[in-house]
Structure 1
């Protein structure tokens, strides 16, 4: 959603991203914490303008162990301004970042709610934002962080709130984008007696260990603006990779990319982290290209594919390597970074911090744990059809052992991903009344549903749009096909709520 400029080397996406709480991704929909995997939305700055009151709900720590009676408080929000007696209940699902109360005031789902007389609720995901089930984020405690526990949270929340508010017979509709989009689909799949329909936007429903297709979509998205753009990026990335083999170049590289400290490359992880960090400038911009997140308080959304390819095509800046460095400096300036921290050692230190006040507690430590234990989603350079160099799958997998537990290896991650797809069905999801909107620019569509499965499981593939675009408030410059997609989702909801 996620999805997630960066203020620190906590890295994600979003899926979270969007996390709707974030869309995060992630998150799968930060000004923005840069979480390494770009799952979801990334962690958009929380805009608490006082328009939505924080409410709290008691949840079990472990829904699947009847002998464990520990409980904790989960944050949620309510907007009842559109509710009409007998109307539906809309439940916005939180994801890999803090739940953003701006979603209780803005967003396409509220347009639907006004037309359909819906009560609107948003539930923050366990272990994100202020929803702290345990005293810290130790690896032992993170075993209670999973999509299955999150779905059980949703089910219990729906059951109790329905009883308390007299909504047991109301039709509930789940909404989510990026990782929360997957949760919206899986909520309908696993608890069909509790949720009547779902809107699963930009939802990566197929877990996969290696996800080089993400960067393949980045290449195509850059080429859609300028066919030479990904070629120039590849030239620059290859040149940098070559220079990293020679320690004599490190001082110049440090100056070129305005690093916070002189570049140190002692292991393959150091160079891979640096190369992925720079590729992230393009990955982030493509994922959120020309979106409408300004309402969430996200800065810098004027940086688009067109802007980046314009820099890469500007011969006055020097060769492609120098233009690549100019992109990095542009992103630093845009997001008010004094310098770029490209140290894997610093990143690892932050990600190992288990405190709720730690630098990765906004979502980075939690989400990467979920990738190691459920989803994979590693955006590697293991494809010849993408423009970046130097961060293959082993680099991503090693982080699981480095950050959490040495027992998290290639085989254990692969087993976890297999179990996820066995449990949810991956691409072969079988249920009814879920719509899957995706954008062609968004790299996450490669793991989503982009063609109708059935009349009751339709896809809405929106050409020219990025991650979770249909969830954001409409504006005059929206593409016609984006406006039509929003209308199509509304018509489906209208039809399904009559069934």
Structure 2
């Protein structure tokens, strides 16, 4: 992309710590935006392990690109003739004459966070296999690549996927790499291969289809090519692949919460429930329901590499699956929790659910409630603050991605959208009205996102020569990709690879290890096999390129 969204301040911090792997989040809430703002104001460095920090290896550069590529499209009025600096990094250490230019689209985050992929991830691997030159290209309105003086709704009109794709085309057609000025490395004479993960995965799939004469091939990893407004399916991956005991406990306990908050609103029970969770000072029930839903939302942040992995999802599941009280400080509210389970309609399961609920409360207090310091609980956990949403200076970098999903992509992850014959994993109070608060408050967007502007490019069925589709079996975003359960299977060919990484989650093929870091189990065999296949089919694409180039030159010679 583009993730469920970081549901609370605590989860936001976790996800930001693993930003290179799990940046794609939608349905973001006010605590998430505050944490993003705090993160952007701190000096950040890309972590290094077993080597030099990649930001020290790869200096940042800028290319001047048009603010507005589409003067014939009235949606960008008033039009602009200005240019702005689009940031990029490159590595020519593997380059050999005739090799491709591998461009990683950084997507909805600062491009700096993608530099490890240039050093030892998928870009480095493909460049080593093909004699290629690797590039990380920043997306407009992220990092330092801002085309306008502020992020007001009017000035965000140039933030569309179409404009950003045109940036990447302009880059390929006009780039002169510093230090390599003697070489013509534009797409006019070289094969350009695009790679992207998540939102950027869909981006490069569309790029290949719309600009086939510029980008010779593309690899779409976890590419969310089908835009969906109410994306309740985000939680289906956890329902299918999380431990059964974790899923069942979460569904039952969430149903107890909803039965109290929704069906017994107006009694003292909602207040008692909030106090039992240590959140008695949260005023709104939807804010409370959202805050307690963080645990099951953490699947996306798991990764095969311990340095990139968040263990929160596993710790949460272990807690709610256990019949032992894992948090002794919760023992003194056992009778109250039993009473709440009864009130929630589960009188036959009081004995089996009381300890899982106590553990849920204990886990949440340790990971979320305890993070709220020197503020009221409403200030920490509410999704409502009109004054905050109206800020639009360039420091408010949190505005960019919500504008994109409010305007075009959707993906609001809800509990309310789950069919009525199923128990949801998050509260039904987390509904479209709640998850779209940022759309209305920050941008005055009250209409549905224009998902057709995205899905017209192919959606689930997107297909094109030299377009690879790579997805993770257990990815919460799989339901928005061509590998969505229920979509037709496809043969995997060298021209159109179609690979589902067994046990994989979100673009697990993107990160990598140095040779001295590998073990028999790391990367896992499905990931290692996928990365080898990617190198092999890109090599084959380059053989096709050479034949194409030879044929073009022969035609030019014959025309003389």
TM range (shorter): 0.7 to 0.9
Structure 1 180/46 Cα, relative in aligned 2: closer, same or farther at 3 Å? farther
The CA distance in 1 between the partners of 2:7 and 2:411, in whole Å, is 20
The CA distance in 1 between the partners of 2:25 and 2:491, in whole Å, is 27
Residue number among 402, 422, 427 corresponding to 1:389 in the alignment: 427
Q: Please say which of residues 81-90 and 446-455 is displaced more in the overlay.
A: 446-455
Residue number among 251, 263, 278 corresponding to 2:282 in the alignment: 263
Q: TM-score, length-normalised on structure 1?
A: 0.83
Q: Is structure 2 residue 21 aligned with structure 1 residue 23?
A: yes
The CA distance in 2 between the partners of 1:81 and 1:431, in whole Å, is 31
Deviation, 1:327, is 3.1
The CA distance in 1 between the partners of 2:13 and 2:140, in whole Å, is 17
Structure 1 191/25 Cα, relative in aligned 2: closer, same or farther at 3 Å? farther
The answer to whether the Cα contact below 8 Å between 2:122 and 2:511 also exists between their aligned partners in 1 is yes
Q: Is structure 2 residue 154 aligned with structure 1 residue 140?
A: yes
The answer to whether the Cα contact below 8 Å between 2:95 and 2:132 also exists between their aligned partners in 1 is yes
- Partner of residue 316, structure 1: 324
Q: Please say which of residues 469-478 and 146-155 is displaced more in the overlay.
A: 469-478
Query: What secondary structure sits across from 1:23 in the alignment?
Result: helix
The CA distance in 1 between the partners of 2:33 and 2:490, in whole Å, is 32
The answer to whether the Cα contact below 8 Å between 1:237 and 1:388 also exists between their aligned partners in 2 is yes
Which of structures 1 and 2 has the bigger CA Rg? Answer: 2
Deviation, 1:434, is 1.1
Deviation, 1:488, is 1.5
Which ranges in structure 2 are unaligned for 5 or more consecutive residues?
35-39, 47-52, 73-78, 326-353, 484-488, 545-560
- Partner of residue 67, structure 2: 61
- Partner of residue 96, structure 1: 108
Which ranges in structure 1 are unaligned for 5 or more consecutive residues?
37-41, 266-270
Deviation, 1:319, is 3.4
Deviation, 1:24, is 4.9
- Partner of residue 80, structure 1: 92
Deviation, 1:426, is 1.0
- Partner of residue 481, structure 1: 526
1:222-279 CA-partner distances (Å, limit 9, x unpaired)? 1xxx2121111122222233444357456665565555x82112xxxxx334323432
Q: Is structure 2 residue 458 aligned with structure 1 residue 425?
A: yes
Query: What secondary structure sits across from 2:141 in the alignment?
Result: coil
The CA distance in 2 between the partners of 1:34 and 1:83, in whole Å, is 40
Query: What secondary structure sits across from 2:317 in the alignment?
Result: helix
Deviation, 1:82, is 1.1
- Partner of residue 343, structure 2: none
Q: Is structure 2 residue 394 aligned with structure 1 residue 356?
A: yes
The CA distance in 1 between the partners of 2:207 and 2:306, in whole Å, is 26
The CA distance in 2 between the partners of 1:445 and 1:5, in whole Å, is 18
1:97-156 CA-partner distances (Å, limit 9, x unpaired)? 111233332313212211211101111111111111111111111111010010000000
The answer to whether the Cα contact below 8 Å between 1:10 and 1:350 also exists between their aligned partners in 2 is no
The CA distance in 1 between the partners of 2:84 and 2:11, in whole Å, is 26
Computed over aligned residues only, the root mean square deviation of the Cα atoms, in angstroms, reads 3.4
Residue number among 236, 243, 248 corresponding to 2:253 in the alignment: 236
- Partner of residue 540, structure 2: 495
Deviation, 1:186, is 1.1
Structure 1 133/52 Cα, relative in aligned 2: closer, same or farther at 3 Å? same
Q: TM-score, length-normalised on structure 2?
A: 0.74
1:339-393 CA-partner distances (Å, limit 9, x unpaired)? 97221224x54444212223xx1xx321111111111112122114442222123
Structure 1 5/325 Cα, relative in aligned 2: closer, same or farther at 3 Å? farther
Residue number among 458, 466, 471 corresponding to 2:510 in the alignment: 471
The answer to whether the Cα contact below 8 Å between 1:90 and 1:118 also exists between their aligned partners in 2 is yes
Query: What secondary structure sits across from 1:279 in the alignment?
Result: coil
The CA distance in 2 between the partners of 1:11 and 1:142, in whole Å, is 24
The CA distance in 2 between the partners of 1:76 and 1:378, in whole Å, is 30
The CA distance in 1 between the partners of 2:173 and 2:95, in whole Å, is 19
- Partner of residue 344, structure 2: none
Query: What secondary structure sits across from 2:471 in the alignment?
Result: strand
Query: What secondary structure sits across from 1:309 in the alignment?
Result: helix
User: What is the number of equivalent residue pairs in this alignment?
Assistant: 462
Structure 1 253/84 Cα, relative in aligned 2: closer, same or farther at 3 Å? farther
The structure in which a higher percent of residues are helix is 2
Structure 1 256/158 Cα, relative in aligned 2: closer, same or farther at 3 Å? farther
Q: Is structure 2 residue 217 aligned with structure 1 residue 197?
A: yes
Structure 1 280/452 Cα, relative in aligned 2: closer, same or farther at 3 Å? farther
Query: What secondary structure sits across from 1:200 in the alignment?
Result: strand
Residue number among 121, 125, 138 corresponding to 2:139 in the alignment: 125
- Partner of residue 377, structure 1: 411
Q: Is structure 2 residue 336 aligned with structure 1 residue 325?
A: no
Query: What secondary structure sits across from 1:319 in the alignment?
Result: helix
Residue number among 228, 239, 244 corresponding to 1:227 in the alignment: 244
Query: What secondary structure sits across from 2:292 in the alignment?
Result: helix
Q: Is structure 2 residue 497 aligned with structure 1 residue 458?
A: yes
